[in-house]
Amino acid sequence: YKGGLVFEFQKLFTFRAIGIINTKLPGGEPGFSLFIMITGQFPPVQLSFGFTLSGLGGLFGYNRTIDTDVLNQMVLSGRAANLLFPPADTDLNQIVNDAGQAFPVKAGNFVFGPMARIGWGTPTIITAEIGLAIEVPDPVRVAMLGVIRVTLPEPDAPVARLNMVFLGVLDFSRKLFTLQATLFDSQLLSFALTGDFAMYISWGQQPLFIFSAGGFHPAYKEAPPQLNALRRLSLTLIDTQELKIGVQTYLALTSNTVQIGARAQVWGKTAIAEFNGLLWFDVLFQLDPFQFQAEAQLIAGVKIFGQDIAAVHLTAVLAGPGPWHFRGHGYVEIARLKKEVRCELAWGIQAPNLAPPSVDVWEMLKQEVAKKENWQSTPLPDSSLSGVSVKDLSQEEGIVLLPNVQLTFKQKLVPFGVELQKFGNAIPQQRYFEIQSVRLGKVSLATQEMIRVDELFAPASFLQLSDAEKLSRPSFENMQGGVAIRAASASGEVRGTPTECPVEYELKYIRAKEIIPQKAAVPLSPTEMLQEARAGSSFRSPLSREQTRPSYAAVASVMPRQEGFVLVQGRELSPFSENGQPLLFTSQTEAYQKRQKLGREDLLVMSTLEMEN
């Protein structure tokens, strides 16, 4: 059931309310889902510092979630602006349908948040419509949907009109922040202005920072899929049936690159002639190590009575520094007479190959081992101590181990089990590190008694990779960064030196002063019982299945498998075995180094997920 209401009073006050009710949950389960959104617009109320408040509202969803993919599509199309404070004559059915798609049914989740319409200036030249949507409990996300409208210098006679709709999402479970925005119904003087913006910050397994205004350099391939369709910032100067002139541009910043580019295009025709021209350039700066590459192209042509009369096509590439290289080629054609030109130049002094500094990685690694923050003591999930609370031991001089805990050492300086070819821009004095044994108290543990712990490392920081390998290999890989050790063996034998301590306790008997009458039991359905139990301590306990179950966002039928890498041979791509055992590696780097040690360049490195497909 869905519907809406719009009430407007003499163009002074506008009230809008929409509601959606589902009487069945996904899969036909009993229950219901509710979504309501209410907004009100009224004459501006003065706040302070020139700000005014002209709208308030809010949304609430029971058994609802936020579909960020749908909202991002609405942002790029401009439809997302209708979910906030649209004009009273906006199609109400479209608003209700868009709200149902943006906040679909999902059992167990709640969505809620306020909405406001704020202006600045007298008369108002900047208006911001902001809606906040908070989703709990799984996943925990905060989404901000907004529209910003700017009219300069005055709303009645604007020289520049900028309208932007945006969506920012903070996803705590995925350790991800995304922001996408688009210009709509915007113009500068009489010229139409369009384009998209994006920001992407990930601090999880694949750390990444991206900011883009208008897209990316064509050679940049590390952008997430949802950012590949960003439109260039475009300004249409002339758009008539006889003449069209437009320009496009972009700017992108990433962790290690700066990207800029522009494109200008002209087309026109007369009664007997038609001409067109295209000029564009792309520039890519790589920061570490510093590199510069620029490419430009000019294409133009003239037709008379539909016949090609003249054409020009020129391409130029400039790269550097130390030395600089220029390469250009193209042709000029007039009345079927074609002249081709080529040019290649190099100048500047080749930078001297200074010997890189040498570093003592072993001394640096010993400092990492000595850092207390690189050691952690955590109870095992199946341990009887999982529900036991102890006092804060973080201020103790050493690391305190309780029985049945797991001691973990993890560092991010250097990967274990990998042959180092470099260390940043330096030469490592020691090229290979591995953990062969650990002494815990008076007990020495061999490698087979330890659990490997992986950490993210950048292969380019430790290996000499070609430009092609840097583009094809992932920026970060899981390599061994430490080990985990259990304080007790599987048989219960305590590793280390146990310490006995007398325990004192006090026993008290508490007698009830009055008898509390018992109330009659109220029958609850399973659904009602689950709803009531959510507020109890059992539900919130770390041992509760509700706290340890798979996420609602996980696919029930297909669970993601952990990726590994194998060496394969022959056209049939059969796994390569050593001593009768197939070789399985955690990272591509480990697989490539094993192939190098074997001297078998004919072997291929493949993902286990590709082998399964």
pLDDT in tens, 43-55: 989 888 889 999 9
Q: Determine the residue type at 583.
A: L
Which pLDDT tens digit goes with each residue over 275-289? 999 999 999 888 766
pLDDT at 383: 56
Residues 314-331 have a mean pLDDT of 89
**148/129 Cα distance (integer angstroms):** 6
Per DSSP, what are the bridge partners of residue 129? 117, 147
Q: What's the CA angle centered on 221, arms 215 and 225, to 5 degrees?
A: 70
| Mean pLDDT of the 528-533 span | 73
pLDDT(118) > 70: yes
Q: What is the mean pLDDT of the chain?
A: 83
Residues 575 and 603 sit within 8 Å (Cβ to Cβ)? no
Confidence category of residue 487, pLDDT binned at 50, 70, 90: low
Return the closest-CA partner of residue 345 out of 369, 366, 328, 357: 328
The model's confidence at residue 107, banded by pLDDT at 50, 70 and 90, is: confident
At residue 492, does pLDDT exceed 70? no
Kindly tell me if the per-residue pLDDT of 37 is higher than 90.
yes
Amino acid identity of residue 432, one-letter, is Y
More confident: 566 or 539 = 566
Specify the higher pLDDT residue, 237 or 609.
Answer: 237
The mean pLDDT value for 1-18 works out to 89
Confidence of residue 525 (pLDDT cuts 50, 70, 90): confident
For residues 386 and 422, the model is more confident at: 422
> Terminal CA-to-CA distance of the chain, rounded, Å?
43
Token reading at 240: 């008539």
Q: Residue 113: what pLDDT?
A: 95
550, pLDDT greater than 70: no
Distance (Å) of CA 363 to CA 33, 376, 409, 462: 60, 22, 17, 17
Relative to beta strand 358-359, strand 427-428 is: parallel
Task: Tell me the C-alpha distance between 213 and 219, whole Å.
Answer: 16
Of the ranges 116-130, 288-302, 503-517, which one carries the lowest mean pLDDT score?
Answer: 503-517
pLDDT-derived band at 381 (thresholds 50, 70, 90) equals low
pLDDT value at position 316? 94
What DSSP letter does each residue of 445-504 carry, written as one string? EEGGGSEEEEEEE-GGGTS---HHHHHHS-S-EEEEEEEEEESB-TT-PBPS--------
> 357: buried, middle or exposed (CB in 10 Å: 19+, 13-18, 0-12)?
exposed
- Residue 117 is predicted with a pLDDT of 93
CA atoms of 142 and 66, how far apart (whole Å) = 9
Nearest residue to 601 (alpha-carbon basis) of 583, 578, 576: 576
423-459 confidence digits (pLDDT tens): 887 889 999 999 888 876 666 766 667 888 888 888 8
Q: Give the residue, 227 or 277, on which the prediction is more confident.
A: 277
**Torsion angle of alpha carbons 386, 388, 391, 393, nearest 10°?**
-20
**Closest C-alpha among 141, 250, 157 to residue 195:** 250
pLDDT digits 0-9 by tens, 452-484: 888 888 888 888 887 667 766 777 888 999 998
